[in-house]
Amino acid sequence: MADFCSAVDSWSGTRGTGPFPAYYRSEDDIWRQRLSLSHEGDWDWGTSRVRVYSALLDRENRRSDGAPPSGPHRFIDTVGDGQVSFSPFAGHRVTLGGELRQERLKDPTVNTAGRAEQMHYAAFVQDEIALGDRWELVLGSRFDRHEEFGWHASPRAYLLHHFNDALTLKAGIGTGFKAPTLKQLSPEYSAIAGGGRFTITGNPDLKPETNLSFEAGFEYRQGIWSARAMAFQNDVENLIQAVCRIGCTGAPGAIWSYENVNKARIRGLELGGGVELPWNMRLDANYTYLDPVDRTTGARLPDRSRHAANATLAWSPWETFTASLRVNHVGAQRTTTASGRQSAYTLFSVYGDYAFNENASLQFGVENITDVRLADESGDYAYADEGRRFFLGLRASF
C-alpha cells in the first residue's frame, strides 16, 4: 500500500526579528509518503501476520524577509512487526509477536553531523481466555528495549462480560512505557514552530514515561444504534510535555523546550455513540471530560482541555464515494504562555473520498472552513494558526 500527500502551509503577518522586516511570509513545502507491505496467513495451526511499513516527511521552508529558513528537515519512521496466533488448549488463544522500529532524522540543528537515528525493539505475548459463555479474560505483556533506556515490561489484564449480544462490560488494568523521540532528546535540535512564533529545542535529560492505567465501561451495539461509556484513570511518572521557557507573553520569539512532570494523574470520562440515518447517512459523536493534575504541585496540567467533543455526519450516496462534515470543539485550557489560559474554540471541516477501484482512491477536503485564526485574535495562543486550508491526496494499495 502507498499513500502520498503534499501540501504548502503558509502564514502571513508573522513578525520578524533583528534587522529583518517586521512582517514576512513563511512557507513550508511538505511531502508525506507512507508505504506498507503486509502478509496474512490462515494455517491449520492458527494465523500469522507480517508487516513492514514506513512513513516519510520532507519539509523545506522559505521566508520572504531574507532570513535563514528553518530546515531542511527529513524524518523517516520504519517499522517491521510480526505475530502468530494459535490455540494450544481449549478456551485459550495465544498471540506471540515482536516489533522493530527505526527513527531517522536529518536536520542541520539535530547535532553537529546534521543527522541522527534511534532503534526500538519490542516483543509481546497475550492469552485470550474464555471463561464460560459470557466471560473473557485477556492477559498479556509487552517488552520494550530502547538503546538508551534498556528493557521495560508492561503487563496488562482485561476482563469482558457479555450480558447479551448487544451489551458488554469492559474493565482493565495495565502499564505502559513511552521513550522520548529523537527530536525531544537531541540537545542541539532547534526548530522554528508555531508558524514562526516560537523556537522549540530538545532536552537530553528527558526520562521515558511510565504509567499505570485503569478503565471500566460499557459498550452497546444493536441494529442501527451504537453507544459506549468509559471511565479511566492514568497515573503517569515522568510525563513528557512541551513548555514555554523564555518570552512567554504571546509575542513571537518565545523559546520552548521539553520537560518531565515527575508525577501526573489524568482521569476522565468518555461518552460516544452513533446511528445510521436515512439516505445512506450516519452520525457519530463523542465527548471527553478530562481532569489532568500535576500530583507534585497539585496544579492542573497545561495544554489539556477539560471538555472536548466532536461529531461527524457522513453521507455515501453511492458505494465509491463518501462525503463527511466534521465539527471539533476544544474547551478552555491552561497554558504556559501569556495569560495562562486559552479560550474554547470550534472548527468545521469537510472531507471527501472517491474510490477509482479497490486499489486506488482520491481524498480531498477543506479544513477549518470558517478560517478561525486564534493566534491572530489573542496573544494567549502560541501557535500561528494555518487558517482555512485545502488538501488533496491519493491512496493506492497493491
Q: What is the mean pLDDT of residues 190-197?
A: 55
* Residue pLDDT, tens place only, 124-137: 999 999 998 999 99
Determine contact, residues 363/349, Cβ cutoff 8 Å. Answer: no
Tell me what pLDDT residue 381 has.
Answer: 61
User: Could you tell me whether strands 341-342 and 46-63 are parallel, antiparallel, or unpaired per DSSP bridges?
Assistant: unpaired
Residue type, 376: D
Cell of 75: 524524518
SS (H, E, C) the chain: CEEEEEEEEEEEEEECCCCCCCEEEEEEEEEEEEEEEEEEEECCCEEEEEEEEEEEEEEEEEECCCCCCCCCEEEEEEEEEEEEEECCCCCEEEEEEEEEEEEEEECCCCCCCCEEEEEEEEEEEEEEEEECCCEEEEEEEEEEEECCCEEEEEEEEEEEEECCCCEEEEEEEEEEEECCCHHHHCCCCEEEEHHHCEEEECCCCCCCEEEEEEEEEEEEEECCEEEEEEEEEEEEEEEEEEEEEECCCCCCCEEEEEEEEEEEEEEEEEEEEEEEECCCEEEEEEEEEEEEEECCCCCECCCCCCEEEEEEEEEEEECCEEEEEEEEEECCEECCCCCCEECCEEEEEEEEEEEEECCEEEEEEEECCCCCCHHHHCCCCCCCCCCCEEEEEEEECC
Instruction: Please state the domain extents for the chain.
Output: 2-396
Mean pLDDT (the chain, rounded):
84
* Residue pLDDT, tens place only, 238-284: 999 988 877 676 556 677 888 999 999 999 999 999 999 999 999 99
CA distance 136 to 169: 10
Position 75 pLDDT exceeds 90: no
What pTM was estimated for this model as a whole?
Answer: 0.78
Tell me what pLDDT residue 74 has.
Answer: 81
pLDDT band at 105 (very low <50, low <70, confident <90, very high): confident
Q: What is the mean pLDDT of residues 277-294?
A: 96
Determine contact, residues 361/397, Cβ cutoff 8 Å. Answer: no
Task: Looking at mean pLDDT, say which of 1-10, 151-160, 178-187 comes out highest.
Answer: 151-160
* Residue pLDDT, tens place only, 20-53: 455 556 666 777 788 888 899 999 999 999 999 9
pLDDT greater at residue 192 or residue 171: 171
Q: What is the mean pLDDT of residues 355-376?
A: 86
pLDDT band at 396 (very low <50, low <70, confident <90, very high): confident
Position 95 pLDDT exceeds 70: yes
Cell of 20: 529583518
The CATH number of the domain covering residues in 2-396: 2.40.170.20
pLDDT above 70 as % of the chain: 80
